Amino acid sequence: MPSKPATPITIDAVYAAPGYLFRRMQQIAVSIFMEECKAFDLTPVQYAALIAIHTHPGIDATRLSAVIAFDRSTLGSVIERLQAKAYVERKPAPEDKRIKLLYLTKSGAAILREIIPAVERAQARMLEPLKPADRKVLMGLMTQLVDLNNEASRVPLRAEDALEHLGKGG
Amino acid sequence: MPSKPATPITIDAVYAAPGYLFRRMQQIAVSIFMEECKAFDLTPVQYAALIAIHTHPGIDATRLSAVIAFDRSTLGSVIERLQAKAYVERKPAPEDKRIKLLYLTKSGAAILREIIPAVERAQARMLEPLKPADRKVLMGLMTQLVDLNNEASRVPLRAEDALEHLGKGG
DNA sequence: TGTAGATTGACAGCATACTGACAATCTTTG
DNA sequence: CAAAGATTGTCAGTATGCTGTCAATCTACA
């Protein structure tokens, strides 16, 4: 009497696997975001970076990567592109020659204000096929799961506590 | 009396957004997969491709991309890497000179058998932090959502019906 | 003080993902 | 049969994401 039936090597097993569903949903989410925001030429990641810099002006790249759970290596090129679009400025930190501080430019702050409605539409569209009650349940479980699995990724989210030494914490 | 409060431009709004949660969870899922399967040097995507080829021997690249909802452009390099590892063979189709048919090699079939337990462990670990009942609810909602949003991505999933003309369908 | 260790940003290299284009080839239709 | 149109695989280009390395710099400790 086998306690676990052997998984058949079938594509249907893949369709039901959590990893597959998460990958697929991410794909769909990015696609919807890009569609709603195509007038702004901003990717989801660039948007998150702008928001984070807006929330924490003068943050450095390493801390930014912790705040949006984003790989430090990749973040360099993301910032470069935001800089090329003149949405972000980098200033050397006076007390630490290694660090470059990040600030939104005026057009960076402006595009952030303008893109918000499109982002809202995108976020709403992702969940639209579900009944309102189910949307809440799904978001609740996803929030839990992401939080409880935080340490499993290379770049765990370190939201506020990563910024304490900046002296901005409320 | 405003019907919708304006969303504040804050990083906390990002943390609660579906798009962010899906991206984050995907990151975590890949990380867990790679950790459990590091002995096998296979990525999640390469694994899915192997399974699909196993299920549909003699499939071509375009149909494969439909079966795993995977971009056709990207798939080329994925297959190349699987070929380099000698897990996959490509044979020209006799009746259509454009098409190259895909088959698993013996070592491809072998690694598939061997990696299954590691993949199962990975899939289980992704949901482990949740209570068993919640896991079912989450998977149910994700399955629904991915299915109902199928057309929203560039490469909608076309599982079996994409393969009818191959004469393998049940 | 001096140096070992940590941090920061940059880079090289690999692997998804997407857009758009292209030649070769097949199919449809006049 | 010939031309128009569709399909297939491939490529160039851009943008995440990851591992690992490195020099410059800062910190902590002997």
Give A47-115 as a 3 state SS string. Answer: HHHHHHHHHCCCEEHHHHHHHCCCCHHHHHHHHHHHHHCCCEEEEEECCEEEEEEEEECHHHHHHHHHH
Cβ atoms of A34 and A118 within 8 Å: the answer is no
Judged by phi (left if over 0) then psi (alpha if -120 to 50, else beta), residue A32 lies in alpha
Share of chain B above pLDDT 70, in %: 91
B 38-97 near A (Cβ less than 8 A): 44, 48, 51-52, 54-56, 67-69
Q: Name which of A51, A56, A134 is nearest B9 (Cβ-Cβ).
A: A51
Footprint of strand D on the protein (CB under 7 A): A 43-46, 70-71, 73-74, 77-78, 81, 95-98, 153-155; B 23, 27, 30-31, 34, 60-63, 72-73, 76, 79, 96, 98-100
Positions in chain A whose pLDDT score sits under 70: 1-5, 160-170
Residue B93 pairs in a beta bridge with B96
Coil, strand or helix at A166: helix
Q: Say what the pLDDT of residue B1 is.
A: 57
Q: Say what the pLDDT of residue A86 is.
A: 96
Note the pLDDT tens digit of each residue in B3-40.
666 777 899 999 999 999 999 999 999 999 999 999 99
Residue B166 has pLDDT above 50, yes or no: no
| Rounded Cα distance, B56 and B59, in Å | 6
Q: Say what the pLDDT of residue A161 is.
A: 54
Note the pLDDT tens digit of each residue in B50-72.
999 999 999 999 999 999 999 99
Residue type (1 letter), A137: V
Distances (CA, A) of A168 to A58, A161, B93: 10, 11, 65
Cβ contact B127–A145 (<8 Å): yes
Terminal alpha carbon distance of chain A: 59
Note the pLDDT tens digit of each residue in A114-163.
999 999 999 999 999 999 999 999 999 999 999 999 988 777 888 765 55
Question: CB B40: neighbour CB atoms within 10 A?
Answer: 16
Minimum CA–C1' distance nucleotide for A44: D16
CA torsion B152-B153-B156-B157 (nearest 10°) is -110
| Rounded Cα distance, B47 and B35, in Å | 14
Q: Say what the pLDDT of residue A152 is.
A: 82
Q: Say what the pLDDT of residue A163 is.
A: 53
